[in-house]
Structure 1
Amino acid sequence: MATHNLAVILKNPSNDAEFLLLKQTPPPKFSEDQYDSYVDSDLWDLPSTLLNLQHDHSYSGIVIQGAQSSHNIDLTKFDVQLALTGVLEKLGLTVNDVGEWSLFKYVEEAEFGPEFPVNTVFIMGNLLDGNQNCQGLCKWMSTESCLTWLLEVKPCSDRVGPLVVFALINDSLQSAARTLPPTLRYQEYPPGVVILPMRSKTRKPFLTTNLVIFAPKQVSDTVGDCSFVAHGDALIVDPGCRHEYHEELKQIIACLPEKLIVFVTHHHLDHVEGQFHKVFLSDIV
């Protein structure tokens, strides 16, 4: 069973290419000077909140176009009105400030474990008046400007959160992850960096080890004076899956460029077992 979030895409009435982002609250302190002394840059993402189950099955009064025909998620089981009210309150808005709602996307998170995955329901609405003021907590952004933030990272510059990437950016890119077997669930954030949990001989209560794939759209051929550094068109990190999942690993490798680098962070079985498989080796050597 998964936990669910509701994320909201609010379109700008004066510019249909823009949507509203909310400045995210920094994570709590650890009470450790080594960590608490670090101040990160601002993170901007789609406004979201926890989506709880409906207890009394009463009619919410919120109509989400396209939700009735969705086979992936039944929104009648959730208290959409409570969640949506909470999200809009963060923006200083009410449901009367937004026009028609529609189901935009349902994203199922990969099972990183050991806890339940967090799936996200994305709904879209048109803001009736774009002149709202959130005292610097909100800003209008386009997909292109968010992608620029992701690809042209600068020290202390503002950052884009994962919900924007999952909902609006990844589908617009020709990522190598698009060719992965459709049965595999993964996370791609930022674009070109894929995290895919594979069943491994890891320590309980975990069941998987993350296989990380770096497959950027463009790869530089320039290595400067560091001729001893291996370079290729893609990089995979820690192929440590159990032997019964080696066929899946082979399918993943087949989707990546032929000039592939394998990097192992350390030599525990849950991080290296896949690289010893003879089929795997035959594909990358």
Structure 2
Amino acid sequence: MATHNLAVILKNPSNDAEFLLLKQTPPPKFSEDQYDSYVDSDLWDLPSTLLNLQHDHSHSGIVIQGAQSSHNIDLTKFDVQLALTGVLEKLGLTVNDVGEWSLFKYVEEAEFGPEFPVNTVFIMGKLLDGNQNCQGLCKWMSTESCLTWLLEVKPCSDRVGPLVVVALINDSLQSAARTLPPTLRYQEYPPGVVILPMRSKTRKPFLTTNLVIFAPQQVSDTVGDCSFVAHGDALIVDPGCRHEYHEELKQIIACLPEKLIVFVTHHHLDHVEGLSIIQKCNPNATLLAHENTMRRIGKGDWSLGYTSVSGEEDILVGGHRLTVIFAPVFLL
């Protein structure tokens, strides 16, 4: 079971490479001074809304080209017209401002849990007139300009949301995620950072622990600065899947470069149970962990050497500098 969203790709009639992004509403306040005092930069993403099921058997007045031939989702079961009207209202538009619609992509979200995953239907249309005034809430962007925002991050600079990355950017890149087994569902955002929920012995109501993979597209063999405590072509964080899913973990490790860094945030079983598999598949991998974590990890999980980190150390992954941050919490 899953909930569904409708995301809209509106093309510029004057420039087919451009599409419309909507400034996203900031998250709600938490009534905590330290949190609420933080002001994030603007986030821009494809306009979207919840896609509800039809309450009756009436036919939608919106025709989506290619929807009937889709084997992944039956749009006749959903109130597409209501959702599309709501999305366009956010932009100050109506259905009469757009030409034909077509089904662009259907993306099934990985099961992060404990709630149901949110699957997204992406449809594409072209504005009949690109001069509508959106009062600063919208802007025309291209995949190239979005990618620049993603890869050249600066403090307080505008950000690109996950919908446009999933729909339009990831498929155009030669990411390491493209080599992962096709049966695995994951999220790649930003490009090169893969979050893959794997079944683990975590606490209820959760069923999975996120395996994080950092495999940047541009891999540099130049170490340069000798102050790095470790360097490699890819990084994997918290391999803690259950024994039944170790075969999947083997397939993942086989897809990653041999110069692999493994980082463990803490000793809980749902974060370390797959360490033994990495050790067998890639005995040359470099393990990074706090010394207190290593004292709690059994020899059966990792019997090779490791590099102790306690915070502020730098590591080099594919030419990218990453810094270890010590974030102590109370762990049983």
The Cα of 1:223 is off from its aligned counterpart by: 4.6
Question: In 1, Cα distance between the equivalents of 2:151 and 2:228?
Answer: 27
Local SS of the residue matching 1:231: strand
Structure 1 spans left out of the alignment, 5+ residues: none
Q: Aligned partners of 2:51, 2:59: CA distance in 1, in Å? A: 16
The residue that corresponds to 1:19 in the other structure is: 19
Structure 2 distance, partners of 1:238, 1:191, is: 20
* TM-score normalized by the length of structure 2: 0.81
Deviations 1:91-125 (A, max 9, x none): 00000000000000000000000110000000000
Report if aligned partners of 1:250, 1:279 keep a CA contact under 8 Å in 2.
Answer: no
Which structure would you say has the larger Rg?
Answer: 2
Kindly indicate whether the alpha-carbon contact (under 8 Å) linking 1:54 and 1:78 is maintained by their aligned counterparts in 2.
yes
Q: Is the 1:249–1:280 Cα contact (8 Å) retained in structure 2?
A: no
* CA distance in 1 between partners of 2:109 and 2:66 (Å): 21
- Residues 26-46 of structure 1 deviation map (CA, whole Å, 9 limit, x = unaligned): 011001111111100000000
Per-residue deviation, 1:237: 0.2
Q: Which runs of structure 1 show a deviation greater than 2 angstroms over 4 or more consecutive aligned residues?
A: 219-228, 276-281
1:280 is aligned to 2:330: yes
**Residues 207-216 or 218-227, more deviating:** 218-227
Deviations 1:131-172 (A, max 9, x none): 001110000000000000000000000000000000000000
- The 1:54–1:262 alpha-carbon spacing in structure 2 relative to 1, beyond 3 Å, is same
Residues 187, 196 of structure 1: 8 Å contact kept: yes
Deviates more, 1:67-76 or 1:217-226: 217-226
Task: Evaluate the alpha carbon distance shift between residue 277 and residue 51 of structure 1 in structure 2; reply closer, same or farther with a 3 A threshold.
Answer: closer
SS at match of 1:280: coil
Q: CA deviation at 1:225?
A: 4.3
Counterpart in the other structure of 1:266: 266
RMSD over aligned Cα atoms: 4.4
CA displacement, residues 39-59 of structure 1 (integer Å, 9 cap, x when unaligned)? 000000000000000010201
The Cα shift of 1:218 comes to 1.2
Deviation of 1:219 (Å): 2.8
Distance in 1 (alpha carbons) for counterparts of 2:328 and 2:249: 12
- Structure 2, unmatched stretches of 5+, are 275-325
- Residue deviations 1:32-89, cap 9 Å, x none? 1111111000000000000000010201110000000000010000000000000000
Bigger relative contact order (CA 8 A; separation at least 6) = 1
Helix, strand or coil at the partner of 2:140: strand
Residue 213 of structure 2: aligned partner: 213
SS where residue 93 of structure 2 aligns? coil
Shift of residue 227, structure 1, vs aligned partner: 3.9
Task: Decide whether aligned partners of structure 1 residues 91 and 259 sit closer, same or farther in structure 2, where only a CA change above 3 A counts.
Answer: same
- The Cα of 1:280 is off from its aligned counterpart by 29
Q: Structure 1 length as normaliser, TM-score?
A: 0.95
Q: Distance in 2 between matches of 1:277 and 1:96?
A: 52
Number of matched residues? 281
Shift of 1:243: 0.7
Deviation of the 1:209 alpha carbon: 0.3
Tell me the alpha carbon deviations over residues 228-279 of structure 1, each in whole angstroms, 9 at most, x when there is no partner. Answer: 51110000000000111111000000011111111000010000010x9999
Q: In structure 2, do the counterparts of structure 1 residues 175 and 234 end up closer, same or farther at CA, with 3 Å as the change threshold? A: same
Farther off after superposition, 218-227 or 23-32 = 218-227
